[in-house]
Amino acid sequence: MAYSKILKRIRNEKTNYGKRKTMLMGKRDFVTVQISNENTQVQIHKPEMSGDKVIASAHSRYLLAKGWKGSRKNIPAAYLTGYLAGKKAIGKGAKNAIMYSGTRKYTQRMAAALKGIIDAGLEIPATKETFPSDERINGEHLSVKNDVNQFKSTIDNEVKTA
């Protein structure tokens, strides 16, 4: 019986190499969404032989600086963080991308961030049925209310697009 070495990134459940290989063969930019215990981070990457390069990145701490009240990891915050990342990516010349979830499950917060990127103008293949409803994106289910449209207009004014 031969021993087959298991790579450390597989053992630690950090990389799904089958999914990554399929994604890299397309040679398209890709979007990653990380949701931690407190924040949401959205990045748009360009795959290269020497390693992936980050084209644009957005963090939910930006919302806090603009007067966001409440959680920075909920559905409206994920949507706005995705919207900000999408606007930054378009400003740097990105036109289309694909969603890469890696070893993480595709959740409603990831879907909200993806909808934000699509609403910003980046073309990403996605099914509309997976997105959260507009009531949830606008935060009508939350006790702490924030005006999502006001934050979108703030992002539009601050981020230059090409």
Assign residue 81 the CATH number of its domain.
Answer: 3.30.420.100
Torsion angles phi and psi, residue 28, rounded to 5:
-115, 160
Q: Is residue 10 part of a domain?
A: no
CB atoms within 10 A of CB 84: 30
Determine, yes or no, domain membership for 1.
Answer: no
By C-alpha distance, which of 101, 99, 74 is closest to 86? 99
| The Cα angle at residue 131 between residues 126 and 93, in degrees rounded to 5 | 50
89, part of any domain:
yes
* pLDDT score of 100: 83
162 found inside a domain: no
Domain contains 44: yes
Question: In total, how many domains does the chain have?
Answer: 1
- 28's tokens: 């398209």
Within-domain flag for 36? yes
CB 25 within 8 Å of CB 14: no
Where in the sequence is the domain holding 70, given as residue range(s)? 16-153
pLDDT category, 162, cuts 50, 70, 90?
Answer: very low
Residue 159 lies in a domain: no
Q: How far apart are CA 41 and CA 21, in angstroms?
A: 23
- The answer to whether residue 53 sits within a structural domain is yes
Q: Whole-model pTM?
A: 0.84
Over residues 31-71, the pLDDT tens digits come to 999 999 999 999 999 988 788 899 999 999 998 888 888 88
